[in-house]
Amino acid sequence: MTANDYQLLDFGDGRRLERFGSITLDRPCPAAERFSPIRRELWLQASSRFEGRENERGRWIDQRETPGRWTIAMDALRLELKRTDFGHVGVFPEQAENWAWIRQILSKPMKVLNLFAYTGGSTLAAAAAGAEVVHVDAARNVVAWARRNAELSGLSAAPVRWIVEDALKFIKRELRRGNAYDAVILDPPSYGHGTHGEVWRLTKQLPRLLSLCAELTADRFAFLLLTCHTAGYDAATLRDMTFEAFGAGGDLAARPLAISATDGRQLPSGVVVRLVAKERPPWQSDTFLA
């Protein structure tokens, strides 16, 4: 395995063709609706195809023998993958550039909160850079998956607290306890449920969550990393929302996320917002909205 075990081979007509190690998958992708595939011969080589809409329960149709679980290397991490009933596999490839950024920005030990932390890519990037991390996700099986990724990546002994909890409920409890953090990483879904049926709707609750994150880091803020994949939330909208919550105390930038295909085309993959304390070097990119 190498650090290049992922490739976006082609995309178009509402689907994407990706290589994860030795396994090639054909999956739905709403962001690919306005594009056309250009390497149609490659699609015949897919190991498995997901039938159904993204984020809705469907089924995988194997076209070649495909393992239930397998491991790939991405960035400096090793990650376990498996095909879920909702078309996911346990990694969002567009996050790899954020993992590299996390390693860059963590120049000294920090306490980092990772909300909606999924299978732990950002948690492990921060832990590998020397941070103390609190990893929060509402799905117990997903937190267990993240812990397996820590073991695979040689980080099982890293200072990570693994928490199964609703993100809003956890952050409110941390504030009541007087706990504080240097940084927050969050990748909230458009819609979801907490551990006890709490309903999360990004359109209603993201501003409140960002305000709580600002309160939690008020005395020691170093950075915020926010990613979003919800329709209608572009870079300018999320930048303004972050500014409203955190104020002018940092270098704030936002831009679209994308995955580069092997043919050089860019597949839109959400938005990233980065806010860095002014005394720290800001992220430099002409493509960011300053």
Reading phi first (left if > 0) and then psi (alpha if -120 to 50, else beta), residue 164 is in: beta
Q: Which pLDDT score, from 0 to 100, does residue 110 have? A: 96
Q: Which pLDDT score, from 0 to 100, does residue 54 have? A: 74
Torsion angles phi and psi, residue 289, rounded to 5: -85, 115
Closest CA to 14 of 81, 87, 72, 85: 87
Sign of CA dihedral 165, 166, 167, 172: negative
Task: Let me know whether 175 and 52 are in one domain.
Answer: no
Sign of CA dihedral 250, 256, 261, 263: negative
Q: Which pLDDT score, from 0 to 100, does residue 287 have? A: 43
For the chain, the average pLDDT equals 92
Mean per-residue pLDDT, 225-242: 96
Task: Let me know whether 28 and 163 are in one domain.
Answer: no
Task: Let me know whether 41 and 105 are in one domain.
Answer: no
181, pLDDT greater than 90: yes
Task: Let me know whether 262 and 163 are in one domain.
Answer: yes
- Total domains in the chain come to 2
CATH number of the domain residue 139 falls in: 3.40.50.150
Task: Let me know whether 121 and 145 are in one domain.
Answer: yes
Task: Let me know whether 109 and 32 are in one domain.
Answer: no
Instruction: Give the structural domain span for 74.
Output: 6-82
What is the C-alpha to C-alpha distance for residues 101 and 99, in angstroms, rounded to an integer? 5
What lies within 8 Å, CB to CB, of 29 at 6+ separation is 11, 14, 15, 16, 54, 267
**Domain edge (last residue) among 33, 59, 82:** 82
What is the C-alpha to C-alpha distance for residues 187 and 27, in angstroms, rounded to an integer? 21
Q: Which pLDDT score, from 0 to 100, does residue 3 have? A: 57
pTM beyond 0.85, yes or no: yes
